[in-house]
Amino acid sequence: MPLQGSRWINHRVAGGWATDYGLTAYESPDQAGHIDIPFLRDARNVVYEFDGGVRKIPGANLLNSTVLVDATTTVAGVYDYWRQGTSGSATQRRVVHAGTTIQADVADGVFSNIATGLVDAAIPHYSTFDDFLIIGSSASADVPRSWDQTTFQNLAGSPPRFSFSVSHQNRQWAAGVYTTPSRLYYSGNLDPEDWTGGTSGSIDIDPNDGDAITAIIPHKNELWVFKGPYRGSIHRITGASPSAFARTTFVTGLAVGWINSVFRFGDDVGFITAYGTVHSLKVTAAFGDYNESYLSYPIASYVRDDLALSRNQFFTSVNDPSHGRVWIGVTPSGQTTNTRHLLMDYRFLTKNESYPRWSYFDTQSFASLAWVRDSDSVGRVFAGSYTGRVFRHGQENRTVNGTAINYNVQTPAMTYGDEWLLKTLGDVGVSIQALNNNNISLSWTGDGVSLGSATVTQGQTGSVFGTGLFGTATFGGDSFQPRFFNLENGGEFRAISYTFSDSVNESDIAIHRVLAKISGSGESQENT
């Protein structure tokens, strides 16, 4: 219902970062004074909680205390390699591609070379089949390799010089061969070292379309094949044996830049196109029209206008299943490294929201991402830097190896259902999770003009509001602590935006609600 008189209004975050929804929200508070903030104009270094909270992203620390090669080395690949062997106890090696070397540790952060002499700055790809680690490379001078945690060697069996490969239907499938860019190869049955025998073979995927196979991924007993980077198309291979293999075209007009732009999440497969948009197989199939189905719709203008799409081959992605988020590393316009990571929280797709909630991470630059089981048996996002380091995310601290994480949350301009009515801001309350003694900066802007600011002290305990007017369930309680600011005059406006920020090292923040006393004062004389 539109704003009438003077009311306390309780704001709840109900959407994620969006660059394409405009600057203003026109929602009205309900009879109880609740209003949903439908999207955020900024969500820097934040993650979302189901109760409406917007929390600073967990921190990251170093995996390796000693740089890999040197401090200018690009860690272009990270992979979690497990070998079952015959002892009944699997052994783990965390593999990194650093400069011209491939190195591994024994889950202790101490890396040693297993191979040297590779092409620097090439994009590696890893897969596991029959206990072998199989390594491809985007560099045509690199040949496919294998490693069994003992012997590192060129992959046997006369394989094609592929860039990437995956295991599917008891075979190794490979593509990204520069001399045959549209050809999909498969090994012999149960043998990743047989590429010329009678049960091996190949399938040509539209060889005259001007594109190349840029990615492949198994999904639900089918192999999905992506082509790009120009016209673009997606195909699927069905069947369990060469005589039964069949190819059908799923969609045309969607081009994927490279293998690291394809990822699994939930029961779906997502992919970043060469144009920067993010789609999924399931959603595309449901809509039948990929123009209506892209998951990145809320941030479409950011992708279109602010990313260096010419570097899409170097974009990277990884699913964090523990938290229901996909990390997507991208290069902003005018830059040459992945200095920004888009975070796609897909849990909200099951909460009747049309799109995942987006935010972004920009504290550190990463060339590669992987999901790795850490030494404490917890799966985490590992990231290879451009400085010879590997970082592991998901740490309780809110810092990246000593670098403060800058938190910034900005709401749209709220009209409270009447964009022409002049309003005034009275008292303000903020519902927080008191996580430490650090302060949070709150500011508000009316019609594009700064109206005021306040400091939210986390360390204060107890309920300032009490249990009468606001109630412990709505605004107070044990988990959330209210912070109250008595403002004689917070300013006059037609639409007001609230911003929370913090740049203190190790400072954890979780904003859950904004409570504001809003009074209508009269009709604006502008534009009448």
Q: pLDDT tens digits for 39-74?
A: 999 999 999 998 889 999 999 999 998 999 999 999
Q: pLDDT tens digits for 9-27?
A: 999 999 999 999 999 999 9
pLDDT on residue 99: 96
**Would the pLDDT of 292 be above 70?**
no
Q: Please, what is the Cα angle at 111 between 106 and 113, to 5 degrees?
A: 110
CATH pick for 6-57+407-523 out of 3.40.1000, 3.40.50, 2.60.120, 1.10.3470: 2.60.120
The model's pTM is 0.93
Hey, do 6-57+407-523 and 59-155+256-404 end up sharing a CATH topology, with the first three levels equal? no
pLDDT on residue 523: 61
Distance (Å, whole) CA 327 – CA 364: 13
pLDDT on residue 479: 66
pLDDT on residue 288: 72
pLDDT on residue 350: 84
Q: What is the mean pLDDT of the chain?
A: 91
The average pLDDT across 144-149 equals 97
Distance (Å, whole) CA 300 – CA 358: 11
Amino acid at 65: S
Distance (Å, whole) CA 482 – CA 475: 7
- Among residues of the chain, what percentage have pLDDT more than 90? 81
CATH class given for the domain over 59-155+256-404: mainly beta
pLDDT on residue 5: 73
Half-sphere exposure of 7 (CA within 13 A, CB side): 19
Q: Show me where the domains of the chain are located.
A: 6-57+407-523, 59-155+256-404
Half-sphere exposure of 203 (CA within 13 A, CB side): 23
Specify which of 137-151, 487-501, 503-517 reaches the highest per-range mean pLDDT. Answer: 137-151
- The b-or-e profile of 173-210 (16+ CB within 10 A means b, else e) is bbbbbeebbbbbbbbbbebbbbbeeeebbbbebbeeee
H helix or E strand, kind and range, residue 380:
strand 379-384
Instruction: Look at the chain and count its residues.
Output: 528
pLDDT on residue 496: 97
**Would the pLDDT of 369 be above 70?**
yes
The average pLDDT across 339-359 equals 93
Spatial CA neighbour of 397 closest among 507, 300, 270, 273: 507
The average pLDDT across 243-271 equals 95
Q: Which of 189-193, 360-364, 455-459 has the lowest mean pLDDT?
A: 455-459
Between 304 and 496, name the one with better pLDDT.
496
pLDDT on residue 114: 97
- Among residues of the chain, what percentage have pLDDT more than 70? 93
Burial class (CB in 10 A: 0-12, 13-18, 19+), 111: buried
